[in-house]
Amino acid sequence: MFSLAKLIKPALGLLAGATMMAAATSLAAADDTHVVFVTHGQSGDPYWSVVKNGMDDAAKTLGVKAEYLAPETFDMAKMAQMIDAITASKPDGMVVSIPDAAALSGPVKNAVAAGIPVIVIDSGGSKLTHDLGGLLFMGQDEFQAGVMAGERIKALGLTKAVCANHEVGNSSLDDRCAGFAKGLGVDVPVMNGVIDPTEMKNRMIAYMTAHADTQFILAVGASGAEPTLAALDEMGLAGKVKTGTFDLSPTILQAVVAGKMEWGIDAQQYAMGYIPVAMFDLWKKYKIMPIADYPTGPGFVTKDTAASVIDLAKQGKR
């Protein structure tokens, strides 16, 4: 005889099991460490893509939920709104860059006041980080890195230089140019560039046409360095006008190996993505909190060492 009860009882058992599994999954998800990055650099940028790779690798290795957010362009008002929105969502930790202290100090202070631990990476510096209540600054002293670059060029006997800045108004990049001038010991004009590589190349061609006595070009990032290399190639000046840059990319490293660029200054930004995720995971799980800043640079990658990191750059690690 057909028994409805015999069918219903196993079904109820399966349903109860599924409900328990869903509840367990929900609890596990609630226990996962949640870290949010809010930076001024888009994830497709040659520099910031490496930061995001570090974040993603750490999240995968440690089982952490990590998100990367940035405005579509260099937009401080939008970035401030993003920080406020993430503060309201109460993550276990927030990682921010501060390229404009006036625009972003308020939102960062509000996040700290709301009980969210904050790590500052790349831009902002140690003093500002601690003034705002941040845990630590991870990056390099951009002004001092610029000074070191200038001293290297001064040692070559060069004095006619230009600093190609693809994002004027970004305090970290402005500091790189200012430090370079101090290290070189002469006034160094700043060429106002843009993120768009074609327009950046055209501006460099125009500058070099008008200032043919330029001996050295310092780019403050890969977004300026790669168009600069293209401009010099097009003008037949590659290897004749010396160049150097902050940050690395496969194209930059190949230029260093080929003698078209003196060096790339490595901030090791992969660590800026990876290590904060690990730090916040340790804090949530074991109440282990970092107590000091974490310098990641500067390191000068020259012709002697560039070949050894090209493959790592292609993998998005350097």
Question: Which architecture, in CATH terms, is 142-266+302-314?
Answer: 3-Layer(aba) Sandwich (3.40)
> Does residue 140 contact residue 297 with C-beta atoms inside 8 Å?
yes
3 state SS of 184: helix
How confident is the model at residue 311, as a pLDDT? Answer: 92
- Whether 142-266+302-314 and 32-140+268-287 are alike in CATH topology: the answer is yes
How confident is the model at residue 271, as a pLDDT? Answer: 97
How far apart CA 199 and CA 191 sit, in angstroms, is 13
235 CB-near residues (< 8 Å, 6+ apart)? 205, 208, 209
> Does residue 289 contact residue 135 with C-beta atoms inside 8 Å?
yes
Domain ranges of the chain: 32-140+268-287, 142-266+302-314
The fold for domain 32-140+268-287 equals Rossmann fold (3.40.50)
How far apart CA 242 and CA 237 sit, in angstroms, is 9
One digit per residue, the tens of pLDDT, for the chain of length 318 reads 445 455 445 544 544 454 444 444 444 455 899 999 999 999 988 899 999 999 999 999 999 999 999 999 999 999 999 999 999 999 999 999 999 999 999 999 999 999 999 999 999 999 999 999 999 999 999 999 999 999 999 999 999 999 999 998 899 999 999 999 999 999 999 999 999 999 999 999 999 999 999 999 999 999 999 999 999 999 999 989 999 999 999 999 999 999 999 999 999 999 999 999 999 999 999 999 888 999 999 999 999 999 999 999 999 999
Q: What is the CA radius of gyration of the chain?
A: 24
| CA contacts within 13 A on the Cβ side of 182 | 13
Structure tokens at 301: 């990658």
The residues that bridge with 238 in the sheet, in sequence order, are: 241
Distances (CA, A) of 104 to 119, 123, 207: 14, 12, 33
Task: State pTM to two decimals.
Answer: 0.84
